[in-house]
Amino acid sequence: MLRLSMTSRILVVDDTPANIQVLSSTLKAKGYQISVATNGRQALEVVARLRPDLILLDVMMPEMDGFETCRRLKESAATNDIPVIFLTARTETTDIVQGFEVGAVDYVAKPFNAHELLARVNTHLTMDQLRRSLAGKNAELARAHELVRRAFGRYVSEEVAASILQSPEGLEMGGEEREVTILMSDLRGFTALAARLAPHEVIEFLNLYLEAMVDVISRYEGTIDEIIGDAVLVIFGAPLALADHAAKAVACGLAMQLAMAEVNRRLTAKGAAALEMGIGIHTGRVIVGNIGSLRRTKYAAVGSNVNLAGRIESFTTGGQLLISESTREQIQSPLRIVGQFQVEPKGANHSLQLHEVTSIGEPFNLSLPERSDALCPLPQPLSITFTVLEEKFLGRTVHEARLAALSESEAGIESALSLAPLSNLKLELKPMAGANPGGEIYAKVIGPVAGASSQTRIRFTSLSPDLKVWVRQMATRLGSTQAETASEILSPRERREPRSPSPYPLPKGEGA
């Protein structure tokens, strides 16, 4: 049981000296410390200077009566928790009611019984001390809860942490079937970058990237299911249900792509190469819940639709956002679709329609910058060899081809082999003294080059540093030469109004 301290300070407020003397003697005999005020204004000054543990307050006093004094004490956040006991000769029912209405904890009539008054003082001081103790324990519990939530939230999403901490059954094994939208993102070229960096630099750059992505995901109410190196798997619609989970997933994907500009600015400032990210999004029914054991549990989404989101992401190029038809059907906001692809994902029993999205309208209003990557023909095509990647493995057949056109991020190649859109290639460019450094190029097939049916357009996914520098320099040189040639043959009017470069070619469809 809580033991009351007799060192408690009591403020006696009364305008009659005899009353003050009797009260002071009675209270001091029990070990209480006493402060005195003779009217309401003086009482407020004493409270501001020396906070008491309890106040004995008369009602009828000059300058400011007891009711007004109590009202002002209760209006201030600094003093509203000090218990006030009215000690007065005014004992009409209306006076007693008014005393409690302005915030008093008790009402004692004069003349008073000393034993009764001491008992009431002791009771209210004990209750106040218990209240303060409980408030302190609640504050400690809140701090501990917040510490656990923050620590827990570093290993699972904020939503999962909150769900588990709010209800004990949140830790129980088991799950439920629910329709959700799955987002999968992955960096292009990070593995090659990591191979050239010290371990601490790899972690530093990876954390820089993930810090930006996690902030965006949280803003759009996504739940991070998994972080695997530079890949992130996000659930929209679990554990917290979202009516517009598909739209929020697409908006989040676009915001993540836009956030890469700042990520790359910070990376290049530290001397690293700029990176690109591909994002795939799919909507479907999955099992969500806690999996694992009593010692190690993880909140996760399980099912073929989770795997399908990963397959869709594997078809993306850097800077691209691809969504499935099931996701597109769920979204009411207007979308700008600049490409459509029919693919055959591994493990799926039917083909899949994918859409490349570059903007979403109200209420999100997000749009990626338009990408114009005009190819410039090489004066002399370069001989290359390539193999088609099947999943993560190289095909055994080596094919001959020619590198016929270039831009900073794409190329046009000529090959006798018909290449399926979104297939992955590994190309080998042989070094030529004084011409190019040679090296390996990883790329993804986009489709035929507009205006050059013999060429296939590819987008680079990974280049060695030397080769990347060469490609950039060559593309700049070819672009300047092409511009000068065009300027020589254009009419004066055409020189003033140059035509826009060819639009990004679409493998299928015209977009929306």
Residue with tokens 């790329």: 443
The answer to whether residues 275 and 264 touch, using CB atoms and an 8 Å cutoff, is yes
pLDDT digits (tens, 9 = 90+) for 472-483: 888 888 887 766
The total of other beta-carbon atoms located within 10 Å of residue 5's CB is: 11
Is the domain spanning 9-136 CATH 3.40.50.2300? The answer is yes
And the tokens for 362? 């109200």
Which class does domain 376-496 fall in?
mainly beta
Looking at the chain, which residues constitute the CATH 3.30.70.1230 domain(s)?
Answer: 171-367
Looking at the chain, which residues constitute the CATH 3.40.50.2300 domain(s)?
Answer: 9-136
d(CA 375, CA 450): 10
Looking at the chain, which residues constitute the CATH 2.40.10.220 domain(s)?
Answer: 376-496
Residue 384 has pLDDT above 70, yes or no: yes
* Share of residues in the chain with pLDDT > 70 (%): 84
Pairing label, strands 297-302, 276-292: antiparallel
Secondary structure element (H or E) that encloses residue 404, with its range:
strand 399-406
Is residue 169 very low, low, confident or very high in pLDDT (cuts 50, 70, 90)?
very low
Q: Average pLDDT in the 413-434 region?
A: 88
pLDDT digits (tens, 9 = 90+) for 247-292: 999 999 999 999 999 999 998 898 887 889 999 999 999 998 777 6
Among 100-109, 123-132, 240-249, 442-451, name the one with the lowest average pLDDT. 442-451
pLDDT digits (tens, 9 = 90+) for 346-357: 766 778 899 999
Among 22-36, 103-117, 294-308, name the one with the lowest average pLDDT. 294-308
Give the 3-state DSSP-derived string for 371-383, with helices as H, strands as E and coil as C: CCCCCEEEEEEEE
Long-range contacts, 81-84 (Cβ 8 Å, 24+): 81/128, 81/131, 82/47, 82/51, 82/52, 82/53, 82/54, 82/55, 83/53, 83/54, 83/55, 83/124, 83/125, 83/127, 83/128, 84/54, 84/55, 84/57
CATH of 171-367, one of 3.40.50.170, 3.30.70.1230, 3.20.20.390, 3.40.50.1370: 3.30.70.1230
- Report the mean per-residue pLDDT for the chain: 84
Residue 154 has pLDDT above 60, yes or no: no
Model pTM greater than 0.75? no
pLDDT digits (tens, 9 = 90+) for 405-420: 999 889 999 999 988 8
Among 67-71, 159-163, 182-186, 275-279, name the one with the lowest average pLDDT. 159-163
pLDDT at 150: 63
